[in-house]
Chain A
Amino acid sequence: MMINKQVKNAEEAIADLNDGQTIMLGGFGLCGIPENCIAALVKKGVTNLTCISNNAGVDDFGIGLMLQQRQVKKMIASYVGENAEFERQLLSGELDVELIPQGTLAFRCMAAGYGMPAIFTPAGIGTEVAIGKEVRNFNGKDYLLETAFNADFAIVKAWKGDTAGNLIFKATSRNFNTVMAMAGKITIAEVEELVEPGQLDPNQIHVPGVYIHRIFQGSHYEKRIEQKTVSK
Chain B
Amino acid sequence: MLDKEAIAKRIAKEIQHNSYVNLGIGIPTLVANYIPKNIAVCFQSENGLLGMGPFPTEADIDADLINAGKQTITMLPGAALFDSAMSFGMIHAQKIDLTILGAMEVSENGDIANWKIPGKMVKGMGGAMDLVASAKNIIVAMQHVNKNGESKLLPNCTLPLTGIRCVKKIVTELAVLAVLPEGGFKLLERAPGVSVEDIKKATLGKLIIEGEIPEMAFD
Contact = CB atoms under 8 A, between A and B. Distances in A.
B122 A174 contact: no
Interface string A159-195: 1000000000111111111110000000000000000
A225 B83 contact: no
Nearest to B69: A227
Given A103-B88, A122-B133, A174-B48, A230 B61 contact: yes
A128 interface: yes
Contact of B133 (A32, A125, A228): A125
Contact of A103 (B45, B69, B82, B92): B92
A81 B47 CA distance: 16
SS of B interface (majority): loop
Interface string A99-130: 11111111101100000000001111111110
B160 interface: yes
Tell which of A104, A106, A223 has the most Cβ of chain B within 10 Å. Answer: A106
Contacts of A87: 122-123
A171 B63 CA distance: 9
B143 interface: no
A96 B87 CA distance: 28
Interface in B86-145: 87-88, 91-92, 111, 119, 122-130, 133-134
A71 interface: no
Contacts, number: 173
B123 A79 contact: yes
A6 to B, nearest CB: 24
B182 interface: no
Contacts of B8: none
Select the residue from A90, A102, A171, A223 with max chain B CB neighbours within 10 A.
Answer: A102
Given A107-B88, A231-B57, A179 B70 contact: no
Contacts of A80: 122-124
Interface residues of B, number: 51
B78 to A, nearest CB: 15
B130 A230 contact: no
B196 interface: no
A174 B62 CA distance: 14
A125 B54 CA distance: 34
B56 A102 contact: no
Interface in A74-104: 77-82, 87, 90-91, 97, 99-104
Contacts of A231: 54-57
Contact of A178 (B69, B71, B85): B85
Interface in A1-54: 28-32, 54
Contact of A176 (B56, B70, B83): B83
B65 A172 contact: yes
17 contacts: A28-B47, A29-B70, A101-B128, A102-B125, A103-B84, A106-B88, A122-B134, A127-B160, A172-B49, A174-B81, A176-B84, A225-B61, A225-B72, A226-B70, A230-B55, A230-B72, A231-B56
Interface of B: 45-49, 54-58, 61-67, 69-73, 75, 81-85, 87-88, 91-92, 111, 119, 122-130, 133-134, 160-165
Interface of A: 28-32, 54, 77-82, 87, 90-91, 97, 99-107, 109-110, 121-129, 159, 169-179, 206, 223-231
What 9 A-B pairs have minimum CB-CB distances, sorted nearest first? A103-B88, A126-B164, A81-B123, A103-B130, A79-B124, A223-B63, A229-B71, A122-B133, A79-B126
